[in-house]
Amino acid sequence: MGSAHNIKEIRIKELQNVKDIVLSSIFKKNKNFLGLNKFKILQKMTKKNVIPLGGISKSNQKKLKLIGCNGFAGISYFEQKKGPISRAF
C-alpha cells in the first residue's frame, strides 16, 4: 500500500508495485483537496485499487458511492469522540 495526491505520485506507486493506493484528500479542504470529480479522474488513470482518504465523515460517507470505491481510510472518522467526564461523589 502506498499514498498519493496526484498522477505523478500514482505512477511512482505503480512502479513500486503496490497493491493499493490511498489517494487524498477527497473531502478535507487542504492543499491536496481533490473533490469527487478529480478523485474519479485519477482513479480511472490506474488499474490499482484506489482508496479515498481525507475529510470523510458520517455525513458525507454516502457520497463515496459516486466514485465506486470498495472502502475508505480515515482517522477522524474512526476516532471516538470523548465527552466531559462525569463523576459521582
Q: Could you tell me which residue, 74 or 36, shows the higher pLDDT?
A: 36
Report pLDDT digits (tens) over 7-16: 999 999 999 9
Give residue 36's domain range: 2-67
> Length of the chain, please?
89
List, in order, residues 6 or more apart from 30 with CB less than 8 Å away: 54
Cβ atoms of 35 and 25 within 8 Å: the answer is: no
φ/ψ of 9, rounded to 5, equals -70, -30
Residue 23 within a domain: yes
Burial class from Cβ neighbours inside 10 Å (0-12, 13-18, 19+) for residue 72 reads: middle
Q: How many domains does the chain have?
A: 1
Residue 31 within a domain: yes
Report pLDDT digits (tens) over 39-86: 999 999 999 999 999 999 888 889 999 998 888 888 777 765 555 554
pLDDT of residue 85: 53
Q: At CA 13, angle to CA 10 and CA 17, rounded to 5? A: 135
Residue 36 within a domain: yes
Task: Band the pLDDT of 29: cuts 50, 70, 90.
Answer: confident
pLDDT of residue 32: 82
